[in-house]
Amino acid sequence: MILSPGFKKYFANTSWLMAERVLRMVVALFVGVYVARYLGPERFGLLSYANSFVGLFIALATLGLDGIVVRELVKTPARRDELLGTAFGLKIVGAILMWLVIITAVPLTENDVQTNSLIAIIAFAAIFQAFNVIDFNYQAEVKSKYVVHAQLVQLTISSITKLVLIAINA
């Protein structure tokens, strides 16, 4: 059976994406266990609560643009710069809006100062998701291999940082 070049291209692209997801889940499991053991039930619960609280509002930061931008990049590759620039701007505005909504909602809770600070820090980190628009171009061109390499570098750095912080009792 002879496989078409298009099939090979999409199969390779999907394989890269699946391999990255599996590796990310395995690393997250092991690093997550170490973090949970280090923090203990109370502090790990606090971290989980803060992540969940921010998760309620994260849709404001993404604005559901991901699939739409990729589709438009496939349809009209000549407008790549315009589409990516607009998506980046909208994601920054969405992240700032999300952060403002969270900062407004936090005082309405009965959280302590530490919990509110943790929520604000996690929410602020969502601004950096705007830089993921670069990924849209690679998705449209079926070249996820490059994005996977960058994500694996990020995963390695963040995992090592967490483990080092645990090792030095930070």
Dump pLDDT digits (tens) for 86-131: 999 999 999 999 999 999 999 999 999 999 999 999 998 888 888 8
Residue 167: inside a domain: no
Residue 147: inside a domain: no
Range of the domain at 96: 44-142
Residue 11: inside a domain: no
Domain count, the chain: 1
Residue 60: inside a domain: yes
Regarding pTM above 0.85, the answer is: no
Q: What is the pLDDT of residue 54?
A: 94
Residue 21: inside a domain: no
Q: State both tokens at 65.
A: 């643009």
Residue 104: inside a domain: yes
- Give the confidence band of 13 by pLDDT, cuts at 50, 70, 90: confident
